[in-house]
């Protein structure tokens, strides 16, 4: 584990050193880049607070992180902050998701949606290139509790979505439905599969159990890839359940999406895409010839400040500190569940997650709306969810639980 807490002065120095080793538009002779410093009426370099604000300074210096920096070549202009992105990816891939040293590629994507689409893009292109597949021979398998970005990916990339029913109580894949859908897929000409498993679904915080699902897949398919959508759970579940197997130590798993802008409390724009070495090459756009090293990502230009924000958060807490923060959220979630049990209110909760999803029959809509719980479907809610984030403090939880008790 290389991931240790660092004092703010060290963090600040590292970020400013990185900015100094980037090219600066106001000091160097840069004629060719179609970018410049930000508008100086609004975003002036000499604002006095900037010298103590490494993240805001990175925003103002506006380094472009276009491309994929875990591959050897890359744009040379902003190599200082590129190195910080490479460090973020290393820490997440190796220390959290158990990848072997240098055996992965990835980038900081605008969010989980793009990272999930990127995964499907990589595998679709692999099947087209290596297996001469047609679009209509590629299926994308996921549970109905998956994030809606799966449907965006299927739609954009022209692969067949195969959503699978889940059990109403356990939220696990319905294996009978899986068998039936796989048989139908086979007979309708689907020859290749992309399988997405969730490390915490958005609505329930449920985590897919790989073995029974992949056993059914393997019984029928030889050519498939497994992607993990850990957009929500990636910065909590591996900390609260260190024995979890949804990581690169598992040879079945080829790629992972992790959002910084959910559990990590980073600014929006901090999704992470990671995959095993050799795969991201299938998303290479060789025609991106004016970009040094060409491009392997969906988005193109992106701000280096996003990677810097994640690096600063990770370095502020260290592994142990982050684990402690996440365990605290689990304690608070337990507190809610204990009272729900006492009141015989039905709910779903994965014990290693900070999401509680309450059966809508068991809670009044007034209380749900008063506390801004989120419905599975606001028109006809069947479930209301609570997400115990850092701002959900004990006194708010107590207030909510008192209201619940009074209403029974």
Ligand X SMILES: *Cc1c(COP(=O)(O)O)cnc(C)c1O
Which residues of the chain form contacts with ligand X (CB under 6 A)?
Answer: 111-113, 116, 147, 149, 198, 201-202, 229, 231-232, 259, 271
Nearer to ligand X, 64 or 201 (CB): 201
User: C-beta of 231: minimal distance to ligand X in Å?
Assistant: 3
Nearer to ligand X, 232 or 384 (CB): 232
User: C-beta of 268: minimal distance to ligand X in Å?
Assistant: 8
What is the residue-wise DSSP string for 213-237? HHHHHHHH-SSEEEEEEETTTTTTH
Nearer to ligand X, 11 or 266 (CB): 266
Residue 62 token pair: 């506006």
User: C-beta of 253: minimal distance to ligand X in Å?
Assistant: 16
User: C-beta of 193: minimal distance to ligand X in Å?
Assistant: 19
Nearer to ligand X, 74 or 111 (CB): 111
Q: Which residue is nearest to ligand X (CB)?
A: 112
What is the residue-wise DSSP string for 244-269? ---STTSTTEEEEEEETTTTT-PPSS
Determine phi and psi for 197, rounding to 5 degrees.
Answer: -115, 145
The conformation of residue 38, written as its DSSP 8-state character, comes to P
User: C-beta of 307: minimal distance to ligand X in Å?
Assistant: 15
User: C-beta of 192: minimal distance to ligand X in Å?
Assistant: 23
User: C-beta of 109: minimal distance to ligand X in Å?
Assistant: 8
State the alpha helices, DSSP H only, in 265-303.
none
What is the residue-wise DSSP string for 106-161? EEEESSHHHHHHHHHHHHHHHHHHHH---GGGEEEEEETTS-THHHHHHHHHT-EE
The conformation of residue 91, written as its DSSP 8-state character, comes to I
Nearer to ligand X, 57 or 306 (CB): 306
- Which of 373, 370, 369, 366 is closest to 388 using CA atoms? 373
Nearer to ligand X, 94 or 259 (CB): 259
* CA pair distance 368, 360, nearest whole angstrom: 9
Q: Is the dihedral of CA 97, 100, 104, 110 positive or negative?
A: positive
Nearer to ligand X, 105 or 114 (CB): 114
* CA pair distance 300, 4, nearest whole angstrom: 31
């Amino acid at each position: 584990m290389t991931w240790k807490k660092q004092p703010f002065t060290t963090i600040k120095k590292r970020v400013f050193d990185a900015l100094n080793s980037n090219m600066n538009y106001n000091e160097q002779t840069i004629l060719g880049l179609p970018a410049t410093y930000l508008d100086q009426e609004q975003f002036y370099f000499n604002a006095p607070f900037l010298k103590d604000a490494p993240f805001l300074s990175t925003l103002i210096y506006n380094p472009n992180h276009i491309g994929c920096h875990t591959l050897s070549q890359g744009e040379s202009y902003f190599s200082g902050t590129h190195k910080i992105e490479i460090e973020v990816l290393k820490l997440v891939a190796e220390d959290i998701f158990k990848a072997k040293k240098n055996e992965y590629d990835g980038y900081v994507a605008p969010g989980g949606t793009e990272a999930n689409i990127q995964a499907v893009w990589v595998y679709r292109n692999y099947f087209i290139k290596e297996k001469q597949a047609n679009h209509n021979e590629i299926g994308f398998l996921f549970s109905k509790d998956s994030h809606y970005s799966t449907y965006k990916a299927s739609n954009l990339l022209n692969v067949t979505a195969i959503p699978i029913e889940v059990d109403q109580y356990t939220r696990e894949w319905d294996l009978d439905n899986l068998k039936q859908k796989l048989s139908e897929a086979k007979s309708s000409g689907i020859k290749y599969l992309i399988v997405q498993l969730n490390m915490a679904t958005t609505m329930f915080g449920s985590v897919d159990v790989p073995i029974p699902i992949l056993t059914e897949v393997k019984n029928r398919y030889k050519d498939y890839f497994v992607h993990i959508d850990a957009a929500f759970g990636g910065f909590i579940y591996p900390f609260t359940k260190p024995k979890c197997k949804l990581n690169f130590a598992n040879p079945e798993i080829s790629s992972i999406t992790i959002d910084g802008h959910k559990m990590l409390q980073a600014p929006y724009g901090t999704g992470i895409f990671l995959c095993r070495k050799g795969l991201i090459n299938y998303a290479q756009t060789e025609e991106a010839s004016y970009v040094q090293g060409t491009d392997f990502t969906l988005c193109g230009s992106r701000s280096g400040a996003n990677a810097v924000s994640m690096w600063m958060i990770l370095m502020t807490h260290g592994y142990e500190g982050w684990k402690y923060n996440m365990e605290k959220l689990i304690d608070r979630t337990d507190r809610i569940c204990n009272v729900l049990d006492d009141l015989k209110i039905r709910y779903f909760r994965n014990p290693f997650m900070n999401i509680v999803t309450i059966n809508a029959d068991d809670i009044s809509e007034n209380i749900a709306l008063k506390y801004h719980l989120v419905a599975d479907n606001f028109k006809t809610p069947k479930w209301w969810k609570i997400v115990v984030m850092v701002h959900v403090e004990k006194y708010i939880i107590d207030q909510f639980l008192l209201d619940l008790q009074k209403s029974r």
